Structure 1
Amino acid sequence: MTGQNGRIETYTHDGLTFDVRDSGPLDGDPVVLLHGFPERASCWDAVVPLLHEQGLRTLAPDQRGYSPGARPRRRRDYRTGHLAADVQALIDAVGRPVHLVGHDWGAAVAWLVAARSRDVRSLTAVSVPHPVAFQKAMLSSRQGLDSWYMYLFQLPLLPEALARPGGPLETFLRRGGMDDAALARFRREIVEYGALPGALGWYRAQFLGGGDAMPGGVTVRVPTTLVWSDGDVAIARKGVDLTPQFVHAPYALEVLEGVSHWIPTEEPERLAAAVLARIRSVGPETPEAPETPEAPEADR
């Protein structure tokens, strides 16, 4: 729903209603920002002012499972194809092509949207490599061990029980680099907000099958940057190194040394610089020229 100020405050798809943070110049080139687990659109709060300063409009949704109006209970409703279709519905609501940025699970979804949609002008994936590269790394490197928590999250109810204040889930997040402020935000915006079961649904749908991991092809054909940090305990280097073979367009890798997995909150300036460099490489959007009416036969 577009408010009186022209902002997209909510949008609907698949019978669900999604909340959106729409800010920056309304006439700026739009940038869609996709959060990961276990965060919401607020994870971009330190990044968006830096994009607004450069004349860009940002739209950051609370995705499926996170928005109160978009919390289906069935595991199959969190398959990747549904998550990507949610993002495409937001792009359709914007009404023009967008630059796409995603962190963590948001990056996994962004890869898929960029591979399928004609409405993505550039992609900046943060932390997570191309999904097929990630899958290959699971079988050929320590990535399988680093992803142990994905198997834990398959269990019913137990992960939710582990999310008590000061409990094992918070310990896991802290060891991965979350600071006190981020952990407080996790308690407030995920656990107390009732978003944790839906957030875990993204993991619980992973092994359902159905072939929707990368429907419509795997190759990304828009200019792409992958931002990865060598202090990331969840994402090993192997998938990062395999990613370029799945991008048939200008590609750049930005490695942030000494940075944890939580790049948008830990290094917003460096991330914004990478996003801006990728967007500038594409240039401003130019409106399509109107078609010239064909001259009558007698005038040729």
Structure 2
Amino acid sequence: MTNPFDPARTRHVRTDVLEIAYHEAGPAHGDTVVLLHGFPYDIHSYDTVAPLLGRQGFRVVVPYLRGHGPTAFRSASQPRSGQQAALGADVVALLDALGVERAYLAGYDWGGRAANVAAALWPERVLGLVSVNSYLIQDISAAARPLAPELEAGFWYFHYFLTERGRAGLAADPQGVARVIWKRNSPEWPFTPEDLARTAQSFANPDYTDVVIHSYRHRLGFAPGAEPYEELEARLAELPGIPVPTITLDGTSDGNFPATDGSSSAHHFTGPRLHRQVPGAGHNLPQERPHAFAEAVRDVRALRRDHAPLGTG
């Protein structure tokens, strides 16, 4: 299979915090869609989605998140934060650096959360949203509230990463940690050792462990946020609504996040929103069911057009 993300074609752009590595597909002047990957995954979740959307006329931008692949912090003094506000701010900073006024955002897991944050706090920059597992802004004030035991078991790594043993384990064998999570998250996905090894190259980033550990410790209330993101986190603590056109997706074979009908999160979406279940998909939905994910991106553009006020695009 042709690799749409040939390392030789990696592009770079600078923000105030990062040098973000990314790939592009499609025409330079099409509607921009930013595809955002999760943890422990990378841009290869979009191997099939990116070319599909490029052929549909989108300008497709697929960045490596902070701490992943060739994306690098510009200064040793920058906090290696993995908190949700940082991820969302990175998306808007990427748009600024690319000279993109507004874009569609689509993602899952960490990437879906980054897209949710951007859509909630900077809706004027977001044309539409595709989000796996619905509303992903974290309610950190409720972090101590227990889940059902079956769900807690799937989040073993949340608690593992609270310990120094967990930090050492992640640093020593990030691919092994990812393998266990992939199997639990997507029990019907027949990924190969080659699939995992290819993605695991992104875990060699020198900041990977620090960013991941901070992300999980912060969301569970065991680590403070970085000072530059305090105001944004305060706004996120209010669980702001998302006013942009949105399509949410649940995989019916997600091992950690059982599929829903979307009703429990409906109040968070104050603009037009459609919810879909994707048969057979696990947590890494764009890689497991790329056509369904690409269809959602195309359809959220149509949803925006259907609900646009007269005289606007």
The normalised TM-score by structure 2 is: 0.77
Instruction: Tell me whether 1:174 sits opposite 2:179 in the alignment.
Output: no
How far apart are 1:238 and its partner, in Å?
A: 6.3
CA distance in 1, matches of 2:142, 2:258: 12
Partner residue in 2 for 1:23: 25
Equivalent position of 2:113 in the other structure:
108
Q: Which runs of 5+ in 2 are unaligned?
A: 1-8
Closer/same/farther in 2, CA of residues 238 and 209 from structure 1, 3 Å limit: farther
* More displaced stretch, 127-136 vs 240-249: 127-136
Could you give the per-residue CA deviations for residues 122-154 of structure 1, whole angstroms, max 9, x where no partner exists?
A: 000023533258987984753445433212122
User: Any idea what SS the aligned residue of 1:235 has?
Assistant: coil
Task: Tell me which residue corresponds to 1:125.
Answer: 131
Total equivalences in the alignment: 280
Q: Does the CA contact (< 8 Å) of 1:153 and 1:200 recur in 2?
A: yes
| Residues 47, 264 of structure 1: 8 Å contact kept | yes
Contact 1:35 1:62 in 2 (8 A): yes
> How has the CA–CA distance of structure 1 residues 232 and 69 changed in structure 2, closer, same or farther, with 3 Å as cutoff?
same
Cα distance in 2 for partners of 1:239, 1:80 equals 25
**Per the alignment, in what secondary structure is the counterpart of residue 119 of structure 2?**
helix
Q: CA RMSD in A?
A: 3.3
**Is this contact kept in 2: 1:133–1:242, CA < 8 A?**
no
Letter in 1 for 2:160: L
Query: Is the 1:133–1:239 contact (alpha carbons within 8 Å) kept by the matching residues of 2?
Result: no
Q: 1:115 to 1:186 in 2, by over 3 A?
A: same
Once the two structures are overlaid, the 10-residue window that deviates more, 270-279 or 135-144, is 135-144
Measured in 2, the distance between the counterparts of 1:112 and 1:42 equals 23
Match of 1:70 in 2: 73
Secondary structure of the residue aligned to 1:149 is: helix
Q: Is 1:86 paired with 2:90?
A: yes
8 A contact 2:242–2:269 mirrored in 1: yes
Following superposition, the deviation at residue 98 of structure 1 comes to 0.5
Segment drifting more, 11-20 vs 235-244: 235-244
2:56 counterpart of 1:43 = no
- Give the aligned partner of residue 6 of structure 2: none
Q: Aligned equivalents of 1:217 and 1:172: distance in 2?
A: 27
TM-score when normalising by structure 1: 0.80
Asked if the contact 2:12/2:20 (under 8 Å) is kept, the reply is yes
In 2, Cα distance between equivalents of 1:200 and 1:87: 20
